[in-house]
Amino acid sequence: MLVLVAFAWTDGGGPSRAQENVLQGCPQPGKWAIAVWGGADGVDPGEALASCNEPSVAAAYWIDPQSQVWTRWFAGRPEISDLAPLQHGQGLLAVGSVPLATPTPTPALTSTPLPSQTPTATPTPGGTPEPSHSVA
């Protein structure tokens, strides 16, 4: 059973002024992390998650502690993202995006001419070709 613990900042142990308005604990490329929003209440998830510069966040999940319903956010996919605006101290489960590999160029295909289908003369031992005859 997966148990997700969300950490809330307290006034005495909160982030310093230099760390406000950023996501704390940004994930590494292709890795999951529990991250905490250190900014103001009511911030759009895309804006908050964009505070992780490199790597960027590919996806984030949050479980509502009251309803126990998971909500999600996917980079560039607003039509399937349903994560509500973030609140100060809200913990998220986030995964870092992995840069796409640059494809290796493949050499261009060249066509090889097919062997000729036209009849040719058959050489004779004497060096003079004899014309080919077809039998009907």
- Is pLDDT above 70 for 99? yes
Q: Position 44: which residue type?
A: D
pTM above 0.85, yes or no: no
- Is pLDDT above 60 for 17? no
Kindly report, residue by residue over 50-98, the tens digit of the pLDDT.
998 777 999 999 999 999 999 999 999 999 999 999 999 999 999 999 8
> Higher confidence at residue 104 or residue 62?
62
Is the Cβ–Cβ distance between 93 and 61 less than 8 Å? yes
Specify burial of residue 27 (Cβ count, 10 A radius: 0-12, 13-18, 19+): buried
**Max Cα distance, the chain (Å):** 108
> pLDDT > 90: what percent of the chain?
51
For residue 2, the model assigns a pLDDT of 40
How far apart CA 96 and CA 4 sit, in angstroms, is 18
Domain ranges (residues) in the chain: 23-96
> Higher confidence at residue 8 or residue 113?
113
User: What is the number of alpha carbons within 13 Å of residue 68 lying toward its C-beta?
Assistant: 2
